[in-house]
Amino acid sequence: MSKRRVVITGLGTINPIANNVSDTWNGLINGQSGIGSITSFDTSDLPVSFAGEVKNFDANEYMGKQQARKLDKSSQLSIFATEEALKDANLNTEERLGPNVGIVFGTGIGGIGSTEQAVRTFDERGASRINPLAITQLMPNSSTGQVAIKYGIEGPSLTITTACAASANAVGEAKNMIQNGIVDMVIAGGTESGTTAMTIGAFAQIRALSTNNENPTEACKPFDKDRDGFVMGEGSTVLVMESEESAINRGAEIYGYVAGYGATTDAFHITAPAEGGKGAVVAMQKAIADAGLTIDEVDYINAHGTSTPANDKNETAAIKTVFGERAYEIDISSTKSMTGHLLGGGGAFEAMVSVLTLKNGVIPPTINLNNPDEECDLKYTPNNAIKKELSTAMSNSFGFGGHNGVLVFKKD
Identify the helix (H) or strand (E) that includes residue 144: helix 142-151
3-class state of residue 18 by DSSP: coil
Q: pLDDT averaged over the chain?
A: 97
pLDDT tens for each residue of 134-146 = 999 999 999 999 9
Answer whether 149's CB lies under 8 Å from 70's CB. Answer: no
**What letters, b where the CB count within 10 A reaches 16 and e where it falls short, cover 171-204?**
bbbbbbbbbeeebbbbbbbbbbbbbbbebbeebb
Q: What is the largest CA-CA distance in the chain?
A: 63
Which residue in 218, 220, 221 sits closest to 373, CA to CA? 221
The secondary structure of 151-177 as a DSSP string is: HTB-S-EEEE--GGGHHHHHHHHHHHH
Write down the pLDDT at residue 50: 98
- Give the model's pLDDT for residue 370: 98
* Cα separation, 306 vs 208, whole angstroms: 10
| Nearest alpha carbon to residue 81 among 152, 177, 146 | 146
Cα–Cα distance, 365 to 378 (Å, whole number)? 13
**CA 19 → CA 83, 254, 322, 353, 405, distances in Å?**
12, 22, 36, 15, 26
What is the amino acid identity at position 284? M
- Per-residue pLDDT of 53-111, as tens digits, reads 999 999 999 999 999 999 999 999 999 999 999 999 999 999 999 999 999 999 999 99
The single residue of 220, 304, 376, 403 carrying the catalytic annotation is: 304
CA dihedral 62, 64, 66, 67 (to 10 degrees): -40
**Amino acid (1-letter code) at residue 310:** A
**CATH architecture designation of domain 261-410:** 3-Layer(aba) Sandwich (3.40)
- Identical fold for domains 7-256 and 261-410, yes or no, is yes
> Is the pLDDT assigned to residue 187 strictly greater than 80?
yes
Q: How far is CA 75 from the centre of its chain?
A: 15
Clarify whether 304 is annotated catalytic. yes
pLDDT tens-digit map of 341-381: 999 999 999 999 999 999 999 999 999 999 999 999 999 99
Q: Among residues 220, 269, 341, 403, which one is catalytic? A: 341
The strand order across the sheet containing 185-192 reads 157-160, 101-106, 185-192, 235-243, 6-14, 256-265, 403-410, 392-399, 300-302, 331-333
Residue 129 vs residues 68, 121, 123, 347: alpha-carbon distances, Å: 20, 7, 10, 37
Domain boundaries defined on the chain: 7-256, 261-410
List the one residue out of 289, 317, 242, 265 whose CA is nearest residue 394: 289
Q: Band the pLDDT of 275: cuts 50, 70, 90.
A: confident
| pTM given for the model | 0.97
- The residues facing 14 across adjacent strands are 236
User: What pLDDT, in 10s, does the model give residues 220-251?
Assistant: 999 999 999 999 999 999 999 999 999 999 99
* CATH T-level fold of 7-256: Peroxisomal Thiolase; Chain A, domain 1 (3.40.47)
Banded model confidence at residue 1, pLDDT cuts 50, 70, 90: low
Instruction: Say yes or no to pLDDT of 309 above 60.
Output: yes
CB 168 within 8 A of CB 160: no
> Could you give the CA distance from residue 105 to residue 81 in angstroms, rounded to a whole number?
12
pLDDT of residue 3: 83
Measure the CA–CA gap between 371 and 147, rounded to whole angstroms.
Answer: 43
pLDDT at residue 327 above 90? Answer: yes
Q: Which of 164, 220, 376, 403 is catalytic?
A: 164
pLDDT for 2 beyond 90 = no
Give tens-digit pLDDT for 15-45. 999 999 999 999 999 999 999 999 999 999 9
Is-catalytic flag, 164?
yes
220 is catalytic: no
